[in-house]
Amino acid sequence: MRILQSLCVATVLLGLLPASIAAAQPDRIGQLRNVSGDAFVLRNDSRQPAVVGDIVQREDVIETGENGAVGITFDDNTVFSTGPNSSVSLEEFNFNPTTLKGSFLAKLGKGTLSVISGDIARGSPEAMRIRTPSAILGVRGTRFLVRVDEK
């Protein structure tokens, strides 16, 4: 009886949920744009070609070949784009669309990255960070470029 009751409550609650993109795709943190040349998304041991409009998820790694480039818009309105021979790991992304607060950590392993920060970087100074093999960047609301060329 109790199980039946909770089932009913759950059903009612589900019915009340707004139809939103976030509800339909719980793991998404952003979307791919402007893909050119050789570009891939690494996710759970699989390596798929990057396609415009596909979603990106937490812990995805974006890789480009010699002629590759990829743009990404994140759900907090941060914008990334990466040039050839690059590897970008989306290590951490938490965002609350109501409070506009969250945390963002990405790693540029090699190559080039252009960033226009979004809502998360407007929070505390530590909220958005970019790692490279030799440094860590703290971001306070801005546009910037990063290159890693460790040979």
Residues found near other proteins in the complex (CB under 8 A): 18-22, 24, 31, 33-36, 52-53, 69-73, 77, 79, 81-84, 86, 97-98, 112-114, 116-118, 121, 125, 132-151
Using the structure block, give the residue that is written with the tokens 């910037």. Answer: 144
CB atoms within 10 A of CB 54: 14
Q: Which helix (H) or strand (E) holds 129?
A: strand 128-131
In terms of Cβ atoms closer than 10 Å to its own Cβ (0-12, 13-18, 19+), residue 117 is buried
Smallest distance from other proteins to CB 4, Å: 31
Cβ closer to other proteins: 20 or 46? 20
Cβ closer to other proteins: 105 or 116? 116
Q: Where are the beta strands (DSSP E) in 37-123?
A: 39-43, 46-49, 55-57, 61-64, 69-74, 79-82, 87-96, 101-116
Smallest distance from other proteins to CB 44, Å: 24
Smallest distance from other proteins to CB 43, Å: 19
Cβ closer to other proteins: 7 or 100? 100
Cβ closer to other proteins: 4 or 19? 19
